[in-house]
Amino acid sequence: MSDAEHGCRFCLENNLLVDTPLFDNAHFYALGSIDPMVPIAGMIIPRRHSETPFEMLPEEWLAFGDILAQAKQHFAELLPDGFTLGWNVGAVAGQHVFHTHLHIIPRFKDAPNAGVGIRRIMRTPDWDRDA
């Protein structure tokens, strides 16, 4: 029985990746960025198909720390000053590939967007939580 979702480009069994995984463990693999707007970045992706991190299994969470440490080590030679880690869960949150994946973006103190974090999207002036 396969864990692949038909047509999902992150399910390895479908052979739809345009790039090669950088490193992996029993439950996850990692890809580098192919987005020219964010060239220094990566993603951690579960081997088993799930749409969101809320569906990850306990054994996947146990293996997650190892793959996250590998990702940090992978980017270490670039000497980042910090990282932004993020899950986009659902279309309204910006998820475009409906297979769980964590974005890893090394951050640098001399970059134009230094100091701008995830919470900035929550501070949009036209967004009214009480509406």
Q: How many residues are recorded in the chain?
A: 131
- Confidence (pLDDT) at 115: 81
Q: What is the tens place of the pLDDT at every residue in 42-53? A: 999 999 999 999
- CATH 3.30.428.10 matches 12-123: yes
67-101 pLDDT, tens digit each = 999 999 999 999 999 999 999 999 999 999 999 99
pLDDT, tens only, 26-38: 999 999 999 888 8
Q: Where are the domains of the chain?
A: 12-123
Q: What is the pTM of this model?
A: 0.87
| 102 vs 113: CA distance, rounded Å | 20
pLDDT tens column, 91-100: 999 999 999 9
